[in-house]
């Protein structure tokens, strides 16, 4: 679950992390003007979309008066912000209004889990305000990593060693070390999967602030992170993914023309590969899970068909826990209740596959004996 910048900073403030003063978010130019007035007449207007590179794309502007802020907001709100990360663009529906700060130094700081070492790892660099992947490629020595033992926790001397190795200004070593402790506490106690501060800013008045923040939380932990439930659905920029989240469906929107419904993540990804090998483009990743009921299969089919780009649907079900008869009943129920105008290819194998195929025989569906045959058929039909 991705948090917007303003949400991430609200969480961080709860753990004592220093962030720029803000006047909240706004959805209209008038609200932006009033917010800048509260900040004393000057403010930074920041588009709230889930993408980096907003500044280069025109999503971050400095307003030197409330009137200028209103003009900037008129242009920014509703615009499609196209960034390097999201070239197709994201619509700006709200903006964050912050105090302007004078930055004298920019650092990069993040925490990510490293599954190979089973550790959360700090990534630190003096090359802040830049794409960290490019920095790592062009100047590997400028990026320092610090794994944290989950039992021992953070040692001060380890933090200082990392700060020295990253060649940060020694004058701010104490403040940066304290900052790292604070964000690590926020990361662990929030069940985060990513926390990135870029830039970690040193201001002209000596403050160390999170000038920007990316925060991602493990959705599987929302049962205990109840404070995030209110913003869970709002974290999805894609309407299909938001609806899937509401229904408890494992779905990722991909933008192609072949809708894919399978059971099991591995089978789903393999099916996507086969569709691509056949010359098609997957519209989505959708895993109905084990033991999927007929009702859930119908819901999954309805979700996939709600995407106007879908020109055909491929069911690839291997019955283990999931029974072929249950899936077949769900497909038939879906075809009866939904207005289906695209071809559907079905491949069933495993538990009760033969019985399921008999149920499907009378429906206007296209059978396939193998996954490769199913992929070839659906691609040909969508062409």
> Does residue 214 sit in the same domain as residue 331?
no
Residues 252 and 346 reside in one and the same domain: yes
| Phi, psi angles (nearest 5°) of residue 153 | 75, -160
For the chain, the domain total comes to 3
Residues 303 and 323 in one domain: yes
Q: Does the residue 31 lie in any domain?
A: yes
SS3 assignment, position 126: coil
- pLDDT for 344 equals 93
- Is 74 contained in some domain? yes
Last residue of a domain, one of 98, 113, 129: 98
Active site residue 172: no
Domain stops at, among 78, 98, 118? 98
pLDDT score for 129: 81
- Residues 75 and 154 both lie in one domain: no
DSSP string, 269-318: HHHHHHHHHTT--B-EEEE--TT--HHHHHHHHHHHHTSTT--EEEEEEE
**Both tokens of residue 203?**
């201001």
Residues 375 and 269 in one domain: yes
Look up the pTM and report it. Answer: 0.72
CA atoms within 13 A of residue 104's CA, in its CB half-sphere? 11
CATH number of the domain that 128 lies in? Answer: 3.30.470.20
The Cα–Cα gap between 26 and 13 comes to 20
> Would residue 297 count as lying in a domain?
yes
The reply to whether 261 and 378 lie within a common domain is yes
Residues 202 and 330 in one domain: no
Residue 215: its pLDDT value, please?
A: 95
CB distance 369 to 347 below 8 Å? yes
| 197 within domain boundaries | yes
pLDDT < 50 positions in the chain: none
Please name the residue that has the structure tokens 């538990």.
351
The residue segments making up the domain with residue 28 are 21-98
Left if phi > 0, otherwise alpha if psi is -120 to 50, otherwise beta: which for 16? left
Return the pLDDT at 222: 84
Given 6, 107, 108, 172, which residue is catalytic?
108
Q: Is omega for the bond preceding 330 within 30 degrees of 0, making it cis?
A: no
Residue 88: give its domain's CATH number.
Answer: 3.30.1490.20
**Do 248 and 318 reside in the same domain of the chain?**
yes
pLDDT for 160 equals 96
Do 46 and 124 sit in the same domain of this protein? no
The domain spanning residue 297 has which CATH number? 3.40.50.261
pLDDT of residue 294: 72
Asked whether residue 107 falls in the same domain as residue 93, the answer is: no
Same domain for 213 and 122, yes or no, is yes
The helix/strand/coil state of 249 is coil
Q: Which of these three, 72, 98, 124, is where a domain ends?
A: 98
Q: Would residue 3 count as lying in a domain?
A: no
Identified catalytic residue from 68, 196, 241, 326: 196
Give every strand in the sheet of 22-26, ordered side by side: 22-26, 95-98, 43-47, 60-63
Count other C-beta atoms under 10 Å from residue 25's C-beta.
19
Residue 265 lies in a domain: yes
Q: Is 196 a catalytic residue?
A: yes
The answer to whether 189 and 217 are in contact (CB under 8 A) is no
Enumerate the H helices of the chain as residue ranges: 5-13, 29-38, 66-76, 132-138, 156-165, 173-189, 229-232, 239-247, 265-277, 294-305, 324-337, 353-360, 371-382
Query: Is residue 2 included in any domain, yes or no?
Result: no
- Specify whether 200 is located in the same domain as 126: yes
């Amino acid at each position: 679950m991705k948090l917007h910048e303003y949400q991430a900073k609200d969480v961080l403030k709860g753990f004592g992390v220093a962030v720029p003063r803000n006047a909240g978010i706004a959805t209209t130019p008038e609200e932006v003007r009033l917010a800048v007035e509260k900040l004393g007449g000057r403010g930074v207007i920041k588009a709230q979309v889930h993408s980096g590179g907003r500044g280069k794309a025109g999503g971050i502007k400095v307003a030197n008066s409330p009137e200028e802020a209103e003009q900037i907001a008129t242009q920014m709100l509703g615009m499609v912000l196209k960034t390097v990360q999201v070239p197709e663009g994201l619509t700006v529906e709200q903006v964050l209004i912050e105090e302007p700060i004078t930055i004298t130094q920019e650092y990069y700081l993040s925490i990510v889990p490293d599954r190979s070492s089973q550790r959360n790892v700090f990534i630190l660099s003096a090359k802040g305000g830049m794409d960290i992947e490019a920095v790592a490629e062009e100047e590997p020595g400028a990026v320092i990593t610090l794994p944290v033992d989950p039992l021992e926790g953070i040692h001060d001397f380890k933090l200082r060693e990392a700060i020295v190795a990253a060649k940060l200004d020694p004058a701010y070593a104490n403040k940066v070390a304290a900052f790292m402790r604070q964000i690590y506490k926020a990361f662990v106690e929030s069940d985060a999967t990513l926390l990135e501060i870029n830039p970690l800013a040193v201001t002209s008045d000596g403050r160390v602030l999170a000038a920007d923040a990316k925060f991602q939380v493990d959705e599987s932990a929302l049962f205990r992170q109840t404070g995030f439930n209110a913003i869970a659905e709002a974290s999805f920029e894609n309407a299909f993914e938001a609806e899937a989240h509401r229904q408890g469906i494992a779905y990722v929107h991909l933008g192609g023309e072949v809708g894919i419904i399978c059971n099991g993540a591995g089978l789903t990804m393999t099916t996507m590969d086969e569709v691509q090998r056949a010359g098609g483009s997957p519209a989505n990743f959708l895993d109905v899970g084990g033991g999927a009921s007929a009702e859930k299969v119908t819901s999954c089919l309805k979700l996939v068909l709600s995407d106007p780009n879908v020109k055909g649907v491929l069911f690839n079900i291997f019955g283990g826990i999931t029974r072929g008869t249950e899936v077949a009943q769900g497909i038939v129920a879906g075809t009866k209740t939904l207005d289906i105008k695209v071809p559907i290819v079905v491949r069933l194998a495993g538990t009760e596959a033969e019985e399921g195929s008999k149920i499907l025989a009378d429906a206007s569906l296209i059978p396939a004996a193998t996954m490769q045959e199913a992929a070839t058929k659906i691609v040909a039909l969508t062409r």
